Every structure is written in C-alpha cells, then in structure tokens.
Structure 1
C-alpha cells in the first residue's frame, strides 16, 4: 500500500440541495421543475407522467407562474426566507466554501455547487477538471444519507464525469451523521441557549421521507418496518447502515449523549410530509399537538440536525408555521437551535472531516 501521488491540486466539491436564483415566480418555477422531476425525489411515477405533473401542474401552481402578479405558496415562502444577502442556503454555502478553501491550503481547490440550479454541479466540475486536479472529493452538505439527497448528488456527479475521457480519482462522502465534531457543534449551539432543564421537552425534527423510499433501501427485504413500526431504527447494523431514518435516530442518540439528556425528555420526529402516503413517523406536527394539548408543554427546544444552514424547513416551517400551530394548541414558544451556517466551529468540523477523507485516499 502506498499513498496516492498528486501531481496537481486536489479538488473538493461541497454540494447542497439547491435554491431558486431569486424569490420570483419564474425562478421558483425553474427550481421546482428541476427538483421535482428528479426520479430520486418523486420515485413512484413513470418519467413522462412525472414531467407532465410537475412542469404542467405542481411547479406552475406552487410558484404562481400562471399568474406572476399573484405569487404562489412556494414563492411567498421564499420571499419570507430571503435576506439582504439573498438565499441563506447559498450565502452560508459561500462562506463555508471560502473558509474551507483557506484552511485546506493552496494544494486544494474548493468549489460550491447545488444539486438543483446554481451554482451547478456541471459548472463546478468543469472548473475542477479544467484546473487538472488529480482527485475530486464530493462532500454533500447532508449529514444523513438519503437517496433523494446524497444519492442524487452522487448520481449526477457520476453522470457528468462519465462523459469525460479521463476521470481523476473520485472520493464520494456518504454521510457523517454521528461524527463527533458535528455532534459537538449542534450540542454547543443548544448549550448556548441555557440549561436543558428549562425546556418542557426537546424535539429532534428531521426532514421526512416516504416509507416506500426507506423500504427500497432495505436490500434484505425483511428489516425496514418489519414489525410495522420504526423500531428497526433503534440501532445501526449491517442491514440498515445506509438507512436515512436509522441515521437520523443515531444523530439524535449522539446529541442526547453529548448533552446528557434523560430518557423521556426528547422525541425524534419528521417534518415536511407531502401527499397521502405514509412517511417516516412520528410526524413533528403531531408531536407538537400532543405535547401542547395532552402534556401541557409550553416551552420546547427544537433541533433540526438534517440541515446545516437556514432554509425553508428551519426558518419558515419550524420557526414560523409550527410556532403558530403550537400557540393555537396552548403552547407558548418553540426555540429553534440555531443552524450551523457560517459558525467557525462548523467550518472547523468540515475541515477536519475533509482532512480525514483526503488523508485516507490510498492506492493498493
């Protein structure tokens, strides 16, 4: 075994999900059209039907493109999310990329890309290939693996690189759902808000996925939801090592251990459900209702550990929409643990994980 020689610089590609270029009906329509026609996102329709449904109905209505003078629901939400720096997801991604490049040094070229829209994976890869890098490390900004996020990023990278005559060494990071540095940053952000016993309950809310997608990832066919519940996610094993739900529960357990939380003081749940199919349970909105109506909870602390930057699912869904629902049910306040954004501790964690990855790139 010897360490792979690098005659050129090494490339690093940080990838997040994506964002519209601006909070307008046309831009949101373009974004939703690309996002929702990904067969890894909507995986239960044949291609032509998916294209027709998304581009002909869903995206135009949700963006308001059919009536640009009356923005649709998604456009309104992006307008609420937008800041003077633009999209938080892109803004904090740029801060992270610049800081990581500085810390990694002159032997690395670091670029940011979005799976959907801009900056695109295609443009970022072209820059790295034009720079004649000797390797490319793909680092998705999703701590937990899911086919619709990390899997889609990896597939798009492979699709684009397959067109190249020469393909450099490629290292694809799968997940880092319980990496100690990541867990410590989430835990520290909670500690910064004060003692844990001031909260009536603590919620770990992750983006949801349809149960059918979770079951598709079970190659054994006899583990995922085998008893009709998600008890199969109580530990990580060979069978479910890449299961999104199992990794989410593992992230919760790691943060709980770091904070020393007691059993019964917290709940893992899933948000952003769409359609009528069963998704990963319990649903965050149901947990909130039960805590307010039946448990008399007034003050909640909410982690959102599937996201590393402010976005619709954190700032708007939890911070605004869930807060309103919670108050209607008798609750008072949901305190969202700040996202990682451009936190120096998060930047240091990414640099450490990248150094572990590029340092382990060896050839037998």
Structure 2
C-alpha cells in the first residue's frame, strides 16, 4: 500500500489550445485575453475588443502556426514539456508529495487540479507559477485564481505561493548550460528577449498609483531587483545569466516581444533591436527567451522562425534560439528547491 501524500505542489503554466483547430485556438485566446489582469481595461471595452476583434482575426492565423509546431502524439510543446516537468518533479519529491499540473487558461484547468487536491485532505499546498519573473498578468493572475477557488473549500490547508524566482541559481545555470551547447564565440551578439507588457502595467505595482514608468524602464529597475517590478526582474535574470557566462555588457542586449495593440509597451521591442543590430553589422545572434521555462509558440515560432526571417531580411545571417529549460535535470532540481523552500 502506497504512502498517503500530505503535501501538494501545484505547477501552473500559461496555457495552450486543446488542438490547433481554429475553434480551439479562438476559445483559448478568448479566455486568455478576457482576463482583466492581462488586458486591464473596463470589462465592456475588453469584451468588444477581444470577442469582436482580436480573437476572430487572430485565431485563424495562430491556428496555422500551431499546426506547424503541434505533435500528433504529444500535442503542443508547452503541454509536452510541462507534463515532463510535473512527472520528473513528482519522482524527485517522492510519495510524501502530490504534484499537479494546471494551465491558467484551458486544460488541465486550475479548478480541476484543485478539486483533485481537495479530496486528498492535504496538510499544505504550494503553488508555483511557471513564470520566473513576477507580473500581475502572469503569476499575479495565477495566484488570484487559486485564491478565488480555494476560499470556497470547507477546510483550508496551509497555502504558500512562489511569486517569483528570477535569480534562482540552478535555473540560471541551466540557461547558461543550454547556451554552452552552442559555440558562443561564433555569435556577434547575445539577445535576451522577454515577453512584453504594456508600460502602464509596470506602474500599477505601486498601490498609490503615483509611479510613472518610462517606456524602457527607470535606472533603478535596470540595476536593482524590485520584487514586483517585471522589468526589474527581467534585467536581474539577464545580469545573472550574463555573469554565469562571463559576458561583458557590450556583448548582449535585452528586448521585449509579443506586443499587442498600438499603446506603448516595454521597449526596446525585439523587432527594433534586430533592425539596430543589423545596421551595426551584426550577422549572427544567439537568443535567450528567459521568461519561458518550456519551449512554446513564443520561442519556437516567434523567435526561431519569425524573428529569424526578419533578421535575415535585414541583412543578418543567423538567429540561434537557446533551448528553454524543458526537462533538464538541473531545472527539475531548481523546481524541487522552490517546492521545499520558502
């Protein structure tokens, strides 16, 4: 008879469509973009924008891209690697722990994952959003949803949340190890491309709403670590990986991808940086995407295909994506550390 688990770990990724069919992609995009922490505008405006414009127009285009990265047996890369991470972490933690995987949007849902855990009468649950850098639209949304659901339980286990781990040593080492799989000296420049955010969301971490953030961040957030400033933590991750690899400041740049709409997002944009590097005569780029702990549409297609083609059109020769953390044993050890330590 197996030992009863007493502690729960809930890993939460962003999400993925159930299939590359346009209808499933539309459903995923709608749930994702209707989250008030993702598009933080009034509900009626958000509904008109998402359901009336973005989801109907983007779903067919995104579906075609998903088809190119979808595996007939394992599905989306994000789901495939997330399941591997869950299973390896479960094996590493042992039978005292029960590890669940959920997606913030679509399946497996946070609601169903928590229902599974509720019936186990666990003493404690630790929630680990699979986003190294805290943002209200990612980790904040996960924590918000978990709290919304868990408060309905008749018994409440000890709850804890890992809101950010932008400088987790084993995670940094894993990214560096993956870069070393390539001949770093072969490349003219190193690029750290993070998922973007609207600039207005940076200032919202200030409860007084008096913080005004410039589009490329303030000097403070570029040099110190603010526990709730996404941009600050992106710079912190970059500095840590660069230090691990022994890079000088002039050898690398930071930028932000996946912009949506016309309002200002965090800059420099990845497209703008590629143009600037091409004008400076850079030909070969090694690109990290450290906002993601598993390869997905944003890394495999947006960087590996879209930005690679864009850079070549500008006169560049090569864009090499550094593999994400995926199922690397050292990353699993990092997850174990996050599961066991506050």
TM-score for the superposition, normalised by structure 1: 0.89
Structure 2 SS opposite 1:325: helix
Question: Aligned equivalents of 1:28 and 1:351: distance in 2?
Answer: 32
Residue 224 to residue 264, structure 1, CA distance change in 2 (3 Å): farther
Unaligned runs of 5+ in 1: 1-6, 64-71, 358-364
Match among 169, 191, 215 for residue 180 of structure 1:
169
Asked if the contact 1:224/1:230 (under 8 Å) is kept, the reply is no
Aligned counterpart, 2:188 = 200
Residue 228 of structure 1 deviates from its aligned partner by: 7.4
Q: Does 1:324 align with 2:309?
A: yes
1:239-278 matches, within 5 Å, as 240-278=226-264
Residue 346 of structure 1 deviates from its aligned partner by: 1.3
Aligned counterpart, 2:18 = 21
Cα distance per residue 1:203-260 (max 9 Å; x no partner): 00000000000111134656553697532322235xx321000000000000111111
Aligned counterpart, 1:282 = 268
Match among 109, 128, 132 for residue 143 of structure 1:
132
Question: Aligned equivalents of 1:220 and 1:295: distance in 2?
Answer: 42
Unaligned runs of 5+ in 2: none
Cα distance per residue 1:261-282 (max 9 Å; x no partner): 0121100111111111111111
Aligned counterpart, 1:58 = 54
Structure 1 SS opposite 2:250: coil
Question: Aligned equivalents of 2:56 and 2:214: distance in 1?
Answer: 39
Residue 10 to residue 315, structure 1, CA distance change in 2 (3 Å): same
Number of residue pairs aligned between Structure 1 and Structure 2: 338
Cα-Cα RMSD: 1.6
Aligned counterpart, 1:107 = 96
Aligned counterpart, 2:45 = 49
Aligned counterpart, 1:93 = 82
Judge which range, 29-38 or 49-58, deviates more: 49-58
Cα distance per residue 1:100-146 (max 9 Å; x no partner): 11110111000000000000000000100101111110001000000
Aligned counterpart, 2:287 = 302
Asked if the contact 2:127/2:161 (under 8 Å) is kept, the reply is yes
Residue 8 of structure 1 deviates from its aligned partner by: 5.9
TM-score for the superposition, normalised by structure 2: 0.95
Asked if the contact 1:215/1:224 (under 8 Å) is kept, the reply is yes
Question: Aligned equivalents of 1:227 and 1:91: distance in 2?
Answer: 35
Question: Aligned equivalents of 2:48 and 2:313: distance in 1?
Answer: 38
Residue 151 to residue 229, structure 1, CA distance change in 2 (3 Å): closer
Cα distance per residue 1:150-196 (max 9 Å; x no partner): 000000001001111221110011110001111000011101112x3
Aligned counterpart, 1:361 = none
